[in-house]
Amino acid sequence: MNTPSHAILNLVSLDAALSLTPTLRWTAMLGGILPDVPIFGFYIWAKFIAKLPESQIWSEAYYWPLNQTIVAISHSIPLALLGLAIATWQRWPIVQVLCLSCILHDLGDLPLHHEDAHRHFFPLSDWRFISPVSYWDPKHYGAIAAGCEFTAVAIASLWLSGRSATKIGAIVLVGVNLLYGLGYARFYLKL
């Protein structure tokens, strides 16, 4: 799933389930983004420091063992569960929501990655669920998956804007939905 979708959908689902305080709402969004932060870090390094060509970044460098291990750690369900258990034991609500949101992120990625599937059970197992559906690859129902993802985000955005969106929040929501709409039209509908 695309990173902004994780942030928006995690915020809506955790807020609906737990009636979060404003601080915990930010935490839920942060937890939705956190597992993908190493991927952004890798891209910035590959593009601007190592100056690798775009094609090599995603087809080769992304699969280098060190990068894959870092991404496996950030997308690990057992490690997030361990964090949740420690936070519950210590009564740290911010860390609890952060870990819950990371787990939701992982559960969102699990059915939507094909050849770039993460090792969600690392370090207990290196097994990857190679889903028949990819959130981006047209060869693996990408058009349908992206259509469903963007629709879910649009509905979640409407729900948020009717509830508690700040001015900055509203601008971000409109921006994300606009980018998704334009991206979909260009990439899948070839408009």
Residues near Zn ion (CB under 5 A): 35-36, 109
- Which residue lies nearer to Zn ion by CB, 15 or 36? 36
- Which residue lies nearer to Zn ion by CB, 36 or 149? 36
Amino acid letter, residue 186:
R
CB 170: neighbour CB atoms within 10 A? 13
d(CA 11, CA 20): 9
- Which residue lies nearer to Zn ion by CB, 35 or 142? 35
- Which residue lies nearer to Zn ion by CB, 67 or 92? 67
CA distances for 123 relative to 20, 68, 72, 112, 151, angstroms:
31, 12, 8, 21, 34
- Which residue lies nearer to Zn ion by CB, 35 or 84? 35
Instruction: Please state the closest distance from residue 71 (CB atom) to Zn ion, in A.
Output: 8
CB 8: neighbour CB atoms within 10 A? 24
Instruction: Please state the closest distance from residue 89 (CB atom) to Zn ion, in A.
Output: 27
Instruction: Please state the closest distance from residue 105 (CB atom) to Zn ion, in A.
Output: 6
Instruction: Please state the closest distance from residue 130 (CB atom) to Zn ion, in A.
Output: 16
Please report how many Cα atoms fall inside a 13 Å half-sphere around the Cα of residue 148, on the Cβ side: 12
Instruction: Please state the closest distance from residue 12 (CB atom) to Zn ion, in A.
Output: 18
* Spatial CA neighbour of 110 closest among 67, 82, 145: 145
For tokens 């939705």, the residue is 32
* Spatial CA neighbour of 7 closest among 169, 164, 186: 169
